[in-house]
A and B are shown apart, each in its own frame.
Chain A
């Protein structure tokens, strides 16, 4: 682990044990997060992005279980450390914001109660100081009338306000890492822009590291420093954002880029990748992408591709580069 690395994930595997067999939602993910950078986890629905970030904090509920792997933070392995130690890190050093702020707030407690609760859990006792800091954070999120919002119940706020209040809550203990699980999916475009702006400012101002889960390459280009492409629960490509956009290596990444609407050409239809995401119960042998891959070779059907280093900042798991 180098100096600037703050979080390192090695060979993370999270399976869900169901009657129909083990669902391999996350099946070998590796990445590292540097101080102050924004790492985007990109992939289509069901590829295991959300389960990956939930696994980082061991939040996967039964029947899901982390079957192997390590998550190193501050010389602590989050996968194997005690529940008590983990509770201190959750919300303290590593905070998380969720896709749907509506359901991520407890409907019977006020926003203030919930922000204060987090600070109380992590050792703040002075109620007035807690409230001052909470209102300060709400103000920082550009929430109008923060005093009123502090005493409001979640259902009294609009979706965008709730999402920003949730970011304020996650920041209340000054986390080193913020995990954002598709925080812009459930809001409209203007709110989305505001939230991205807020997250960007936070990263710049506080030097916070950000793990951003999304399926939207537009957001990746906007906010990300590096991107990790996930397919079928596996890491398939990791590179700086400019390399991912301009020089994608993996055929799947190429396909994703090709799907973006391009205003320079006036083609009527958007491109798409043929086929559907693999069934995680019955992942294809070899490279998980091979049934949909246009450049499929014989070896792809049998051997899982190893990570190949293309440049210092670019690795890809594909036999084309092997």
Chain B
């Protein structure tokens, strides 16, 4: 098909009162990776929501069943016997009771991973929500108000940008003790700068468009123009930015947990990973399993974000493919 036609032929396909949502859904749908990513994310959400009802208690410790490998794997455990003064080798095989094995304290890996999924998603979504809301507000206000306000808000953004947020996190956690709420708040309250700048630049080009003047000519107030006219026009950017920043946040929480600054009362993937690295030689699965989960989750969000970006970009010729 020829490329030049696609832009014009698009509107014909969405007629009547099917909304823009359908239009973008149709465009996103063409990206198989994005759909796979979306599928994985939905699966993860479902797992985090209803999984805990079907799995064992992730905090249940059972030393008799420690270091059980995942189903289909086996591992050898040497036990020193005092009576015979010799090592006996026990073969431990994976069981259906613990399909993904157990860790060094006999906790069920499946249950821990599912509870970790909840925490990772919570952290990722909440922190991103905070960051994107602040970023969008500052970006749009900065662009719309312009002049002095623009200067003040953007210099504030610059200052926040130069702040080494990881060090700030370490400092705050050192001072107040590790807690998930604190981690979410700090990531959210410091992670909005990139979004603010991008959204400002987008809104800046919108501000001079005639429909903003037209809206004022209709008697719309500043607040109405920002909420009804500016924000919906940068919504695509906001959605893409949010989707692409979620994996970063999840990784940041894992990294914090990995270096021992996570919330010890929660079994997040980073904390399991941290536990697992100590026993990599005897029970590799404890570290590998949360690693795989992290890998696919981050990949899924990135694929979805890329797909959405293409779908929202009017210049990408999706029909031509």
Query: A: which residues have CB within 8 A of B?
Result: 54, 57, 59, 61-62, 87-92, 95-96, 98, 100, 103-110, 117-118, 121-122, 148, 151-153, 155-156, 169
Contact = CB atoms under 8 A, between A and B. Distances in A.
Given A106-B229, A155-B11, A61 B220 contact: no
Nearest to A106: B211
A107 B233 contact: yes
B211 A103 contact: yes
Contacts of A103: 209-211
A263 B64 CA distance: 107
Interface stretch (B13-21, B132-140, B189-197, B272-280): B13-21
A98 B210 CA distance: 8
Closest 6 CB pairs of A and B: A91-B218, A151-B17, A91-B219, A90-B219, A103-B210, A104-B214
A183 to B, nearest CB: 12
20 contacts: A54-B213, A59-B216, A62-B146, A88-B219, A90-B216, A90-B218, A91-B217, A95-B218, A96-B214, A98-B210, A98-B217, A104-B210, A106-B229, A108-B235, A109-B228, A117-B220, A121-B224, A122-B219, A148-B16, A169-B218
Contacts of B15: 148, 152, 156
A82 B213 CA distance: 18
Contacts of B233: 106-108
B213 A87 contact: no
Contact of A121 (B14, B16, B210, B220): B220
Contacts of A100: 210
B264 interface: no
Interface residues of B, number: 27
B232 interface: yes
A177 B16 CA distance: 33
Contacts of A152: 15
A124 to B, nearest CB: 13
A153 B216 CA distance: 20
A151 B211 CA distance: 18
A117 B218 contact: yes
Given A88-B219, A106-B233, A118-B218, 13 more contacts: A59-B216, A87-B219, A89-B219, A90-B217, A90-B218, A90-B219, A91-B220, A96-B217, A98-B217, A103-B209, A105-B214, A151-B17, A156-B11
A259 B71 CA distance: 91
A92 B16 CA distance: 30
A108 B17 CA distance: 13
A57 B219 CA distance: 10
A118 B17 CA distance: 20
Given A117-B218, A148-B16, A61 B232 contact: no
B84 interface: no
Contacts of B219: 87-92, 118, 121-122
A57 B211 CA distance: 15
Contacts of A91: 217-220
A156 B228 CA distance: 20
A110 B208 CA distance: 21
A122 B220 CA distance: 9
Nearest to B209: A103
B210 A108 contact: no
Interface in B151-180: none
B214 A98 contact: yes
Nearest to A151: B17
Contacts of A95: 217-218
A136 to B, nearest CB: 19
A191 B215 CA distance: 24
Contact of A59 (B146, B217, B235): B217
A89 B219 CA distance: 7
Given A103-B209, A103-B210, A156-B15, A108 B232 contact: yes
B4 interface: no
Nearest to A121: B219
Interface string B9-51: 0010011110010000000000000000000000000000000
Which residue, B11, B216, B228, has most C-beta atoms of chain A within 10 A? B216
A61 B211 CA distance: 13
Contacts of A88: 219
A296 to B, nearest CB: 38
From B17, B211, B229, residue with most partner A Cβ within 10 Å: B211
Nearest to A155: B11
Nearest to A87: B219
Q: Of A61, A103, A108, which is in contact with the most chain B CB atoms at under 10 Å from its CB?
A: A108
B221 interface: yes
A151 B16 contact: yes
A156 B217 CA distance: 24
Which residue, B16, B216, B219, B221, has most C-beta atoms of chain A within 10 A?
A: B219
B216 A106 contact: no
A57 B217 CA distance: 7
A169 B214 CA distance: 11
Contacts of B147: 62
A239 B52 CA distance: 83
